[in-house]
Amino acid sequence: MSKTFYEVVLQDGTEIEFDADGEWDSVDCIRSAVPAALIPGAIAEYVQINFPSQVIVKIDRETYGYEIELSSGLELRFDKNGKFLRVDD
């Protein structure tokens, strides 16, 4: 079964993927911070406490929850409630 996605690339290089329902699936801001309104509160709080000098530059919705990438290149996984799961390899 294939899913339909739409990809939009903004002038600043930000890439946003939308699903067939128009909901964002992935936001990649390359080097700048993902807009705070898109980041679940628990994830934003975890990053602010544990990685205060980093910003979230990419966020993906996954079946288990979220995968984010920090400005350092480190990738973290969170469940649907924003609970930290692990550092992704």
Instruction: For residue 31, report the phi and psi dihedrals to the nearest 5 degrees.
Output: -120, -15
Placement of tokens 């911070």 in the chain? 33
Is the pLDDT confidence value at 1 over 60? no
Return the SS3 of 7: strand
Share of the chain above pLDDT 90, in %: 89
**Which residue did the predictor score with more confidence, 3 or 17?**
17
Q: What is the pTM of this model?
A: 0.90
Among residues 2, 18, 87, the alpha carbon closest in space to that of 46 is found at: 87
pLDDT digits (tens, 9 = 90+) for 44-70: 999 999 999 999 999 999 999 999 999
Distance from C-alpha of 70 to C-alpha of 34, rounded to nearest angstrom: 10
